Structure 1
Amino acid sequence: MALLALKPNPLPNGFRLCPKRTNASAAAAAARSPSVHPLPDELQLVADIRSPYNHIRVADVSPRAAGHPLAGARLLLLDGPGNIHSLSFPRRGDRPPLTGTYLDAFATLPPLLPRPSLAVLGFSAGAAARALLHFYPDISVHGWELDPAVLAVARDFFGLADLERRHAPRLSVHVGDALEARAPPGGFGGAAVDLFARGSVLPALQEPGTWRRLGAVVAPGGRVMVNCGGAGVEAEDEGRDGAAVKDATLRAMAAAFGEGAVSVLHVDGSWVAMTGPPVTAPEAAAAWRARLPPELRHFVDAWRPYGAGASGE
């Protein structure tokens, strides 16, 4: 996530939740940025690491931070501005591993897929994969993350090593550019795409050709779900306006898949898009809802077909 590409609620001191990034040249350039924003008082620094691609910080939000939407969470912050690219909460009893952000929407995708396999393009610390593996015992998840240091931090501080041990037959994490992800014969059932660079949706995702290539990793009848950002996403480059980039990303998806085959979900300033026939008919929506855990059913009725009136901020 980025400092809140999809924010569940406005975060104090300018923090926002932002998605993960890929693309080696963009990420390496961002890592060289000399501007490092100090952490707000309610965050406690746990780790501070520099890799060839990122300035990586892990920070805990005080559980006593009154009114903070992420009180008690552990955050993965990347680059100088401290964009939040993943988060986790301490497990309490049977509490599902949800984040209260757009990442949870990815966990609604499996019931719509032709086969129980999902590619997570922009894996980061594995928040989306954790929810998918928790709710769907038969699903297999393949994740791609560009920066091996991010995965090392995820294993040390976000429980990824334990997740990999517990779900070894069903979880595979690959180091590499997500845009070059390779699918198994017949394709994945679906793909969750969360790719940002320098605080903005990856520029390649504003090109229809990129979406045609990504669509090819999905089996016939499969779907792609995408974090498109929005006005709440602050890019490091002044010319990358969050709302304009979101609109360009949606236009590129519509050009690649057909405007009638793209739906959008708006969550507090951030937008998620999904390919495939809109699930808006009452019978189809009811069937989808019935196959979801109760914690995720509220997402079903929030989807709208992409088009006039569906993509404004």
Structure 2
Amino acid sequence: MSLGLISCQIQSFLHKPIRIDSCNLQPTSCNFIFSYKLPGKSLTAKCQQTRQPSIQTKTQEDGIPVEDVKILVKFKSRHNYIRVLEVSRKADHPFAGSRLLLLDGPGNIHSISFLFKSLTNTYFDVFATLPPVLPPGPLGILGFGAGSAARLILELYPQGVIHGWELDPSVIEVGREYFGLAKLEKQYPDRLFVYIGNALKASLRDGFSGILVDLFSKGSLIPELQDPTTWVKLSKCLRKGGRIMVNVGGSCVESENKRKDGKVVMEETLKAMQSVFGNKLFVLNLGNRKDDSSIALTGVLPDPDEWKKALPGSLSYYVDMWTPFSDG
């Protein structure tokens, strides 16, 4: 067998399909690469990370030996090509001891779960910084995946209540069986509510205090997010003072449609948001390059010192990374 490479962009990473390709990826600052054996081919699965790997750990070029990566399940549902990978705890890699949910063709990772730790060093950790800057009330997650963001928020904020929407029931079932979602639902029956259906039709009678948006299909942000009317509608679902945080992807998000460039789709999404939120739109860039992958936040930027005080120390790192969105 020949040695292939699996590189990871979680969006979803971490909203995150596997792309079968005969060429090797050139590593970027936001990608991990896993070694994996396949007959004459290489598997690639892209993943957003929020920090640079330590020089003491393996780099993208080193990868993970095939014996440290195991495919637990793979099948096609009505909406997705679903795969679950497990990385051995013995692997010399930042993803050691994790399970990864891959959807669609290109291999973008949509959920990640570690056996012995909660934080992921991916954009899910950025999502977990939102609750302290929201008014009281439930949080909506549009694009629930296997529940990575929900798990972090429920564990970090004892008063947090989450309503999550996921289009594909098979993704929820995989989350329950392989990512501890069933245990999470049992543990927090009055704080976690999961719905199967179109996330853009999500609503609560008294509105959301905040909304996390992580909506990808076929390896790309869904086209509705490039339409300003979508953001108008979502803003009307918020309580007074509510905010929206969005995984807007970037150049390291790979679409099944080769004509869809992740950077272009990200820019179109941000422009649509800016037309609705004006100068109350901020961006946090992941990786070294501005267009690698980004998270967007609506509303007046919170006082950084107060925000940091309300966060676990390991998450306060992200507060100073927000900058105003500038078109051009």
* Residue of structure 1 in register with 2:111 after alignment: 86
Verify the 8 A CA contact 2:108 2:254 in the aligned structure 1.
no
* Residue of structure 2 in register with 1:56 after alignment: 82
Give the Å deviation of 1:3.
3.5
Q: Partners in 2 of 1:9 and 1:204 — Cα distance?
A: 26
* Residue of structure 1 in register with 2:319 after alignment: 300
So what's the TM-score if we normalise by structure 2?
A: 0.80
1:124 paired with 2:145, answer yes
Find the partner of 2:256 among 223, 228, 236.
Answer: 236
* Residue of structure 2 in register with 1:77 after alignment: 102
Verify the 8 A CA contact 1:183 1:218 in the aligned structure 2.
no
Secondary structure in 1 aligned to 2:314? Answer: helix
Amino acid at match of 2:112: L
Give the Å deviation of 1:9.
4.1
Find the partner of 2:9 among 3, 8, 16.
Answer: 3
Q: Deviations over 1:24-78 (max 9, x none)?
A: xxxxxxxxxxxxxxx9834211112321111211110123333x33122101111
* Residue of structure 2 in register with 1:273 after alignment: 296
So what's the TM-score if we normalise by structure 1?
A: 0.84
Amino acid at match of 1:53: H
Q: Partners in 1 of 2:10 and 2:146 — Cα distance?
A: 16
State the identity as a percent. Answer: 46
* Residue of structure 2 in register with 1:263 after alignment: 282
Find the partner of 1:177 among 198, 211, 214.
Answer: 198
Q: Partners in 2 of 1:222 and 1:171 — Cα distance?
A: 19
1:16 paired with 2:46, answer yes
Q: CA 1:233–1:9 in structure 2 vs 1: closer, same or farther (change >3 Å)?
A: same
Verify the 8 A CA contact 2:245 2:295 in the aligned structure 1.
yes
Give the Å deviation of 1:223.
0.1
Give the Å deviation of 1:197.
1.0
Verify the 8 A CA contact 2:45 2:102 in the aligned structure 1.
no
* Residue of structure 1 in register with 2:246 after alignment: 226
Verify the 8 A CA contact 1:10 1:16 in the aligned structure 2.
yes
Verify the 8 A CA contact 2:30 2:286 in the aligned structure 1.
no
Q: Partners in 2 of 1:162 and 1:17 — Cα distance?
A: 26
The number of aligned residues is 278
Verify the 8 A CA contact 2:143 2:199 in the aligned structure 1.
yes
Give the Å deviation of 1:182.
1.3
Amino acid at match of 1:17: C
Give the Å deviation of 1:11.
1.8
Which shows bigger deviation, 72-81 or 3-12? 3-12
Verify the 8 A CA contact 2:281 2:324 in the aligned structure 1.
yes
1:290 paired with 2:309, answer yes
Amino acid at match of 1:59: L
Find the partner of 1:109 among 118, 130, 139.
Answer: 130
Amino acid at match of 2:97: G
Amino acid at match of 2:247: N
1:135 paired with 2:156, answer yes
Once superposed, which parts of structure 1, at least 4 consecutive aligned residues long, lie more than 6 Å away? none
* Residue of structure 1 in register with 2:73 after alignment: 47
Verify the 8 A CA contact 1:115 1:188 in the aligned structure 2.
no
Give the Å deviation of 1:238.
1.1
Amino acid at match of 1:298: Y
Q: Partners in 2 of 1:4 and 1:119 — Cα distance?
A: 20
Secondary structure in 2 aligned to 1:12? Answer: strand
Verify the 8 A CA contact 1:4 1:16 in the aligned structure 2.
yes
Secondary structure in 2 aligned to 1:299? Answer: helix
Find the partner of 1:213 among 233, 239, 259.
Answer: 233
Verify the 8 A CA contact 1:110 1:116 in the aligned structure 2.
no
Give unmatched runs, 5+ long, in structure 2: 1-7, 15-28, 35-43, 49-63
